[in-house]
Structure 1
Amino acid sequence: MNNNGTDPAIGYICSSIAILLFGSNFVPLKKCDTGDGNIAVVPIIKTIGLGLGILIWGSFNALTGWASSRFGWFGMDAEEVPKPLLNYTGAGLSVVSAFIFLFIKSEIPNNTCSVDTTPLITERVINTAQESCPSDSSDSWVEQLSTVHRRLVGCSLAVISGVLYGSTFVPIIYIKDHSKRNDSMFAGASQYDLDYVFAHFSGIFLTSTVYFLAYCVVMKNSPKLYPEAVLPGFLSGVLWAIATCCWFVANHSLSAVVSFPIITAGPGFIAAMWGVFMFKEIQGLKNYLLMMLAFCIIVTGALCTAFSKL
């Protein structure tokens, strides 16, 4: 243990677990129709695709989280590292690695009729042809956009999502920084990040509840809910929650200026591995070579960021 009660080894282990789980948490939902999904993710995927979506929001996530901690944005204390050049290099390589995924092509089947898409709450229709697919997607507002508008909406939502993802730890770090000041209302607050997990998750639950109620009102009490997505969705949430807890520990052990470039860069590669070995979405020598290049850059960036703390 070092002088401030943190252990870098634990931080790197937790970062590795977070990368693995963040890159895998959508796997349980791969074969399920999630309907309208949540506020931004599903519209992003439908407008610009998952690959480009992860590229944009992952890059802005990494830059926002790293820069806000490194330069002291939003009232936080700027975090110093012993080797700032290595830290800058690691953050830059994390973003570069994300851009490489833009050139990796995925082969995704267009047939979406293979899953049960019967909503839990919907109007009963008699004598519906069994061979036809549900018309949920055609009724989506996303499907009514032009190509230019789809890309504009998707990119805008991805940027907003990335900035918000990158700011998710700002309130916690702000409280921790101001707890050291006797004149602050947060004086004496805990310095251990896991003490804030319950409040963090409660905020997510409350926000999701408000959004769902608003969605039900907009849909005139006929939300599109799919029974086959319930248990996979729960499992996905558990994986995400464990990964987030590990991220809290990594922030405490390494500081956000180190953990953010590492944890935001790795999940894209893990997700790509699922696409290669499990779902066969990525094939071909060119795509494999690009993935190896991205992996090398990710590892180099993570090592630069790690060594900047030593």
Structure 2
Amino acid sequence: MSNNGTDLITGFISSSVAVLLFGSNFVPLKKYDTGDGMFLQWVLCAAVWLVALVVNLVLRCPKFWPFAMVGGCIWATGNIAVVPIIKTIGLGLGILIWGSFNALTGWASSRFGWFGMDAEEVSKPVLNYIGAGLSVVRGCSLAVISGIFYGSTFVPVIYIKDHSKRNDSIYAGASQYDLDYVFAHFSGIFLTSTVYFLAYCIAMKNNPKLYPEAVLPGFLSGALWAIATCCWFIANHSLSAVVSFPIITAGPGLIAAMWGVFKFKEIQGLQNYLLMILAFCIILTGALCTAFSKI
């Protein structure tokens, strides 16, 4: 099998695993009281960093690029809104909305070369546009803002990779393998979440709201997210971000909606079921169009 064929298979398998885990990673927390979410986000990010440490050791500690931490800082900022989103509009709808705007921001920045990145070409651009468009179908204030932050999270890593090919750049010779940047990216997440949590403790006059029963579920949730993101890094490398973003950001909404229907009963009634089926068809069509635009 050609390297291109191997990359496609690796990319789509990684994308599938990422979609499944992203759509399920908040499930362990659903039945626990997480309050305002500030303590929980710190627990999540601690678990994320531990997974990154293991990956970094497995990869034999590739060079650490501090700029890659910026993407983690951006992600942690968007993550602050996750708990309020899930508490107010539910797991399924929340992930559908922020996933849509995540997809739009991440896809557009890669496709058109925003933020100093190289624009990425695909063999079938019309299919890619259709796929990205069909992946974006909803909107709500917090989830929209969160999605935009999430969609910018890979920009520093892609920027480093693009500029590694230029001899006059400070990033000349940097690795082209996305997973080599996981530790720096996740370190940015943990550092930023810690700063936010300390600021929260100061604002609460050293009396933060802690929820011990959410610690273990929070660690599990963070570990699932971290593994999913590692798969996303692999998919970015194998497929390119312009293809992986619409697939991985739109798909979890469907998985979360399945949890919402069958486990948590968030969606009820024939009309809502039909609406969800329509959303599924749109998301699936968008993912397939995006996938075939690479072939």
Category of TM-score, reference length = shorter chain: 0.7 to 0.9
What's the CA shift string for 1:37-62, capped at 9, x where partnerless? 04222333455555554344222211
What's the CA shift string for 1:62-83, capped at 9, x where partnerless? 1110000000000000000000
Matches of 2:290 and 2:109, distance apart in 1? 16
Matches of 1:6 and 1:74, distance apart in 2? 30
Matches of 1:4 and 1:76, distance apart in 2? 23
Corresponding residue SS for 2:24: coil
Farther-moved stretch of structure 1 (279-288 vs 213-222): 279-288
* Cα pair 2:92 2:254 within 8 Å, conserved: no
Give ranges in structure 2 of 5+ residues lacking alignment: 39-79
Matched, 1:44 2:81: no
CA root-mean-square deviation = 1.9
- Residues 1:12 and 1:238: Cα distance change in structure 2 (over 3 Å): same
Q: Sequence identity of aligned pairs in percent?
A: 87
Matches of 1:274 and 1:306, distance apart in 2? 25
In structure 2, the partner of 1:161 is 146
Q: TM-score, normalised by structure 2?
A: 0.81
Q: Which of 165, 169, 189 lines up with 1:180 in the alignment?
A: 165
Matched positions, count: 254
Matches of 2:28 and 2:93, distance apart in 1? 21
One-letter code aligned to 1:20: L
Q: Which of 130, 145, 154 lines up with 1:89 in the alignment?
A: 130
Matches of 1:23 and 1:252, distance apart in 2? 22
Counterpart mapping for 1:199-218 below 5 A: 199-218=184-203
Shift of 1:198: 0.5
Corresponding residue SS for 1:23: helix
Matches of 2:27 and 2:87, distance apart in 1? 18
Counterpart mapping for 1:214-233 below 5 A: 214-233=199-218
* Cα pair 2:92 2:260 within 8 Å, conserved: no
Matched, 1:191 2:171: no
- Residues 1:217 and 1:158: Cα distance change in structure 2 (over 3 Å): same
Shift of 1:201: 0.7
One-letter code aligned to 2:27: V
* Cα pair 2:134 2:283 within 8 Å, conserved: yes
- Residues 1:283 and 1:222: Cα distance change in structure 2 (over 3 Å): same
Matches of 1:4 and 1:188, distance apart in 2? 23
* Cα pair 1:63 1:166 within 8 Å, conserved: yes
Matches of 2:152 and 2:261, distance apart in 1? 32
Shift of 1:164: 1.1
Matches of 1:68 and 1:189, distance apart in 2? 21
Matches of 2:126 and 2:152, distance apart in 1? 23
Counterpart mapping for 1:255-270 below 5 A: 255-270=240-255
Matched, 1:27 2:27: yes
Matches of 2:124 and 2:89, distance apart in 1? 38
Q: TM-score, normalised by structure 1?
A: 0.78
Q: Which of 253, 259, 276 lines up with 2:238 in the alignment?
A: 253
- Residues 1:297 and 1:65: Cα distance change in structure 2 (over 3 Å): same
What's the CA shift string for 1:101-126, capped at 9, x where partnerless? x8xxxxxxxxxxxxxxxxxxxxxxxx
Matched, 1:297 2:279: no
Matches of 2:165 and 2:2, distance apart in 1? 19
Shift of 1:286: 1.7
Corresponding residue SS for 2:136: helix
Q: Which has the higher contact order (CA 8 A, sep 6+)?
A: 1
Matched, 1:171 2:156: yes
Matched, 1:66 2:107: yes
Corresponding residue SS for 1:201: helix
Matches of 2:292 and 2:123, distance apart in 1? 9
Matches of 2:5 and 2:207, distance apart in 1? 52
One-letter code aligned to 1:257: V
* Cα pair 1:6 1:252 within 8 Å, conserved: no
Give ranges in structure 1 of 5+ residues lacking alignment: 103-153
Shift of 1:291: 1.7
Counterpart mapping for 1:92-107 below 5 A: 92-96=133-137, 99=138
* Bigger radius of gyration among the two: 1
